[in-house]
Amino acid sequence: MTYIPATLALLTSVLLSGAVLAQSVAPSSTPYPNRPVRIVVPYSSGGTGDTLSRMVAVRLSEAFKQPVLIDNRPGADGRIGTQYVASANPDGHTLLSILTTHTISGALMKLPYDPIRDFAPVAGMAVAELGMGVHPSVPATNLKEFIAWGRSLTQPVNYATTQIGGNQHLAGELFTLITGVKMTPIPYKGGGDAMAAVMGGHVHLYFGSMASMTPVFRSGKVRPIAVTGSARDPEFPNMQTFSEGGIPGMDIRLWYGLLMPAGAPAAAIERIARLTVDTVTTPDFRAALAKQGLNPMPMDAATFGKFIRGERTRYAEIVKRAKITIDP
């Protein structure tokens, strides 16, 4: 058996321990990302959120020199894809594309994940204003006339919605809370069906994104009444904002952003946040957003995190006041 002097053995032990410690605290030399990145879209392809995510993915892929793939996982009003990301490896290579309903659903039902605690905010991307449009048979051309007409009816006003508890539904409920006009949501399978319902006169009105409302407003098949936001839509300068019409609290908007699973590396979050904010503010990307009826909503991780927490609180209050429930 080889004999090792005690002092040499002690020195060897110290050196080995130091090597292990150095390995444990040294920064990883592995670049990020080191393989393809996925953005999970918890809805079917073709929607505004899907299109926006694909636009951003192209820019991220160019910067990363790695594929950034879109993974559509629709079902259960977005809950299937969201749950998938909540349970994913938080290594920075899986993201979730969200919209406003991410902060609403928790106030309506029990979820298999916490919309805030189980995710790390990454960045805000874009926002769309909601336009209120009515069938031409409705005797109103502005909010004052519509409110007076709605209050005069013995039956509630019917409005189309694509999802109970979604943006359009809460817009109608908030409108009722503020104005006293009684309204009943009529759910449809999608935006196309909802739009067809108001054009056909099966419902009185629809709250839709300005991207979807613009063509029907132009056609005259739906009459524009009001739009969310602080400024009038340049396409329809005669359509007042809700604030101008005396309803400043009607601020239901469609916004879009990115999350990662909780525990994702701060460096990965910071890099994607910086690239996303830089991307959505470039002139060419702003022009591309405008074609989708969107405006940039550049927010870094900290700002976006504060924003979505505030949105959750605000929508929970609307749900509570309106006494909205969803059958399990």
Of the three residues 241, 274, 294, the one that is the final residue of a domain is 241
| Residue among 118, 215, 114, 206 at smallest CA distance from 166 | 206
On the question of pLDDT at 315 being above 90, the answer is yes
Residue 193 shares a structural domain with residue 292: no
Query: Do 184 and 201 contact (CB within 8 A), yes or no?
Result: no
Lowest mean per-residue pLDDT among 10-19, 77-86, 179-188: 10-19
Residue 261 shares a structural domain with residue 122: yes
Q: What is the pLDDT of residues 214-268, one digit of tens each?
A: 999 999 999 999 999 999 998 999 999 999 999 989 989 999 999 999 999 999 9
Q: What is the pLDDT of residues 84-143, one digit of tens each?
A: 999 999 999 999 999 999 999 999 999 999 999 999 999 999 999 999 999 999 999 999
Q: How sure is the predictor about 327, in pLDDT bands with cuts at 50, 70 and 90?
A: low
Q: What is the pLDDT of residues 41-87, one digit of tens each?
A: 999 888 889 999 999 999 999 999 999 999 999 988 899 999 999 99
On the question of pLDDT at 163 being above 90, the answer is no
On the question of pLDDT at 25 being above 60, the answer is no
Range of the domain at 118: 37-127+253-322
Total count of domains within the chain = 2
According to the model, what pLDDT value does residue 45 have? 87
Q: What one-letter code names the amino acid at 264? A: A
Rounded mean pLDDT, 270-294? 95
Is 6 a member of any domain? no
Q: How sure is the predictor about 166, in pLDDT bands with cuts at 50, 70 and 90?
A: confident
Q: What is the pTM of this model?
A: 0.84
Q: How many CB atoms lie within 10 A of CB 85?
A: 25
Is 285 a member of any domain? yes
Is 10 a member of any domain? no
On the question of pLDDT at 17 being above 50, the answer is no
108 phi and psi angles, rounded to 5 deg: -105, -25
Is 225 a member of any domain? yes
Is 11 a member of any domain? no
According to the model, what pLDDT value does residue 328 have? 52
Q: How sure is the predictor about 15, in pLDDT bands with cuts at 50, 70 and 90?
A: very low
Contacts of the segment 286-290: beta carbons below 8 A, 24+ positions apart? 288/55, 289/52, 289/55, 289/126
Of the three residues 171, 206, 241, the one that is the final residue of a domain is 241
89 phi and psi angles, rounded to 5 deg: -60, 120
On the question of pLDDT at 5 being above 80, the answer is no
b/e for 104-128, b at 16 or more Cβ within 10 A?
A: bbbbbeeeebebbebbbbbbbbbbb
Is 103 a member of any domain? yes
Q: What is the CATH number of the domain that holds 209?
A: 3.40.190.10
Query: Do 165 and 320 contact (CB within 8 A), yes or no?
Result: no
Is 63 a member of any domain? yes
Of the three residues 208, 241, 274, the one that is the final residue of a domain is 241
Residue 54 shares a structural domain with residue 110: yes
Q: What is the CATH number of the domain that holds 97?
A: 3.40.190.150
Q: How sure is the predictor about 161, in pLDDT bands with cuts at 50, 70 and 90?
A: very high
